[in-house]
Structure 1
Amino acid sequence: MIAFKHRLQVLCSLCVCLLVSGCQPDTPEAMLEDYISRLNNVLEQDVTLDLSNIHPTALPRRRLRLIEETPVRQGLIEVLELRHCDLLPLIAQRNSSLGRVMQPSQKLIYELKFLVLMRQCVAQMKTANIEPEVREQIDTIWRTKQANLPIVLWNSLYNSDEMEANFSASEPPLSLPSDDPRERQQETARFASVKLSLQHFKQLTLLAEQPKNWPLPEFINDIEDDYLTLYSNRFGSRWQRSLLLTTTTLNKGADIIEKRLKIKPFCYSGHRNQKADILMNVFSKFYAGRLQPYVAKVHQQGDVWLAAHEAILQPLQSTLPEAMQQYEKHYLDRQYPDGQWQQYLQALQRHTSAWQKILRQCNMMPDGNPL
């Protein structure tokens, strides 16, 4: 009998733990669904929230993004003439078996180093005693390579596996804000590394707009670390899904409140009833306490991420293929009225206004409003 009572106590304890854990969803989807469920219950509505098939839109197919460069092909005798420019080791590297299958990051390093050496060569040839045909050949190579630079930057950055991973449709959303200081510190460090990598990419694309005497960026030999950072974090893909999840939830929450207020006032003449107390609990614990911190995280980090891509792409605007121009407008432009970011801002404003309206009816507006 004692053993039975002990087992019963253990079973009850487990049930309590399960119930408690059920009140603290540990995934964004569970938290968002729990919030909508509680809002439905207190306002006696039946608005459904289905987050199962919400995924970001991937980049256009690579064949639609790739831009062909103007080729520079030289015969053996012509290439040997470039010994005047100290380019032979670099050219030999490019024409090796490994050089012919360079990854985008390696191709980018090669092209930038080639341009710097080629620029020096052009300057040297102005005073060197060489045949006019050789000088013309060098000038032609220099002009072609310089004209190719925006295309090289575009192809190397936005047609790499690492960048594609940041626009994948299969990644999970960003995690909920953690109460653990160590986890928060680690997440801050990861996001800082993503920002730094995107800043490096911005510095690279600015070369397309700068005068032709730019120096090699100090970080160029370590640029593959930036590619690896993007690939391992995949922040962009996770953030875009989080944005879609929160946008959908904010609109559904507004639907519930607006639908309820259309039936009849929730409170009459500012009178605070029992239902109003329950609604205030949902507002305080599940909106301000759970949803708002997640929305703030998505908002703040996303604003930084989008600004970084806008800065990277701005010098390449005349280079972007049509498919990418459309994609950029809808998913990376913070100002485009029908874009993903503006849709989120509209949902946020609508949701906030709905809460303000119902809380004012009950004379329950807090001093400070959540985001």
Structure 2
Amino acid sequence: MKLWLLPLLALSLLACSGNNGDKVFKNYQQRLARVLDTDLAAITVPPAAALAEPRDIKQALPDLRLDLTDTFTTRRCGLDTLIGERNSSLGRVYSASKQLSYELRFLSQLQRCLSLSWDNSALLSELQQVYQHKQASVHIAFNNMLLTDDTLRKQLFGVRDSLPLSDVAGQSETWQALTELSLLQQFIGEQNWQAAAAVDIEQQLQLLYQYNFIGRLQHSLRLSSHQLMQLNLMLASVKPEQLCQPRPDKQQLEILGNIFNKYFIAQVQQYTVNLERYQQQLWPLLETLYRDTPLQPALQQRFAGNYQQMRRELSQHVTWWQSLNRHCPLQLTPQG
């Protein structure tokens, strides 16, 4: 049976617009605890898997100096402008993303230079050597951006802000940004320097920064998993058959049925369905980007691990309601 959608009568999803996931869960938890006259398990949210510090994983780029004193030669294929940019005061303090953009533009331009005919064989040999070194070092520049860029680090660390139940902004923009960065990774792997240099890295990072969707998704998965665990620990002491024996409390069961329909199905379960959709859209892109990097194990736990834990806790929670429905006349399923 698909755990996300129970076989229920058609329900009007009365989602509270503007409610974030934390409020949705707390409202449901409080109502359920009150009607069952029990207390919610007081356990703290476990810490997220630690991410390595940038200083411990950033790699230095090889310091290659291209001494082209022949002004005519450098102007011939546009390298003089790029060399001047790198040697400027701003060029010396490039962020990891701007450094990567520079390396890609340099490779693209140098590739064009090498396609020209050269009378100076010594200069041509020097350009070829630089080209080979740059092709090897650009992977370091790409990883440095992934591992140390401030915007990306904020997404990976997560923020204490859950995604809302409805009217969620930034999902498509985040998917677009991650897709562009994945294409960039692909272009670099294919040594397609023209295509790689054309990717606007700063624009993609700006989209991620603007919506912070990944950071909020990570927090939402982790918190939802924890809040479902709290509910299941609370319900472990409430046996469904005891609510109907020896005589059922019809008022209590009516309230439980209302909580199930209005707050669990229409809000809590709908919220987890939303998180599942976001996870399935965005995690494969993140996983591809960070595969074989020092952050991959921690991100696997922060995203895929919390997602699977949320599913397990939800399954256990649904089982409790199914058991209650078998023992008590709640009529939570369609009647034959």
Q: TM-score, normalised by structure 2?
A: 0.82
In structure 2, what is the equivalent of residue 325 of structure 1? Answer: 296
Deviation at 1:202, TM superposition (A): 0.8
1:299 is displaced (CA, Å) by 2.3
Change (3 A) 1:115 1:40: same
Alpha-carbon separation, structure 2, partners of 1:304 and 1:329: 15
Separation (CA, whole Å) in 1 of partners of 2:142 and 2:221:
28
Does structure 2 retain, via aligned residues, the 8 Å contact 1:33–1:49? no
Distance 1:174 1:215 in 2: 38
One of 301, 322, 331 as aligned partner of 1:356: 322
**1:106-145 equivalences in 2 (<5 Å):** 106-124=98-116, 127-131=117-121, 133-145=122-134
Cα 1:292–1:79 shift into 2, 3 Å:
farther
SS at match of 2:237: helix
C-alpha distance in 2 between matches for 1:110 and 1:153: 11
Mapped partners of 1:342, 1:365: distance in 2: 30
SS at match of 1:166: helix
1:288-303 counterparts in 2 under 5 A? 288-303=265-280
Counting only pairs closer than 5 Å after superposition, residues 1-371 of structure 1 correspond to structure 2 as: 26-49=19-42, 59-75=51-67, 77=69, 82=74, 85-124=77-116, 127-131=117-121, 133-177=122-166, 184=167, 187-188=168-169, 190-210=170-190, 212-217=191-196, 220=199, 222-261=200-239, 265-267=242-244, 273-314=250-291, 317=292, 320-321=293-294, 324-332=295-303, 334=304, 339-364=305-330, 366-367=332-333
Whole-Å separation in 2 of the counterparts to 1:75 and 1:214: 23
Q: Describe the shift of the 1:279–1:106 C-alpha distance in structure 2 as closer, same or farther (beyond 3 A).
A: same
State the AA in 2 paired with 1:349: S
Relative contact order, higher structure (CA 8 A, sep 6+): 2
RMSD: 3.1
Task: Tell me the alpha carbon deviations over residues 63-98 of structure 1, each in whole angstroms, 9 at most, x when there is no partner.
Answer: 123122233223454998655543111111111111
Structure 2 spans left out of the alignment, 5+ residues: 1-15
Q: How many angstroms apart in 2 are the aligned matches of 1:326 and 1:298? A: 21
AA at the equivalent of 1:327: A
Q: CA deviation at 1:345?
A: 2.0
Contact 1:54 1:241 in 2 (8 A): no
- 1:59–1:231 distance in 2 versus 1, CA, 3 Å: farther
User: Which residue identity does 1:256 align to in structure 2?
Assistant: M
Which residue number in structure 2 is paired with residue 181 of structure 1? Answer: none
Q: Quote how far apart the aligned CAs of 1:30 are.
A: 3.4
Deviation at 1:265, TM superposition (A): 3.6
Percent of pairs identical after alignment? 25
User: What amino acid is aligned across from residue 285 of structure 2 in structure 1?
Assistant: A
Aligned pair in 2 of structure 1 residues 134, 365: CA closer, same or farther (>3 Å)? farther
Cα drift, residue 201 of structure 1: 0.7
Q: Would you say the 8 A contact 2:104–2:197 is kept in 1?
A: no
- TM-score norm. by structure 1 comes to 0.75
Query: Structure 2 vs 1, CA of residues 218 and 141 (structure 1 numbering), >3 Å: closer, same or farther?
Result: closer
Offset from partner CA, 1:208-230 (integer Å, 9 cap, x none): 321x345325853x432221121
In the TM superposition, residue 147 of structure 1 has moved relative to its aligned partner by: 1.0
Q: Secondary structure at the match of 2:266?
A: helix
Q: Which residue of 2 aligns with 1:6?
A: none
Residues 246 and 93 of structure 1, relative CA distance in 2, 3 Å threshold: same
Aligned to 1:9: none
3-state SS of 1:68 partner = coil
Using the TM superposition, give the Cα deviation of residue 286 of structure 1 relative to its aligned residue in structure 2, in angstroms. 1.5
* In structure 2, distance between residues paired with 1:32 and 1:25: 14
Q: Are the equivalent residues in 2 in contact too, given 1:243–1:298 (CA < 8 A)?
A: yes
CA distance in 2, matches of 1:78, 1:66: 35
Aligned equivalents of 1:278, 1:150: Cα separation in 2: 60
Cα gap change, 1:213 to 1:42, in 2 (>3 Å): closer
Cα 1:355–1:219, aligned 2, differ >3 Å: closer, same or farther?
Answer: farther
AA matched with 2:164: S
Structure 1 stretches lacking a partner, 5+ long: 1-22, 178-183
Of stretches 60-69 and 358-367 in structure 1, the one that deviates more from structure 2 is: 358-367
**Structure 1 residue 243 displacement after superposition:** 1.3
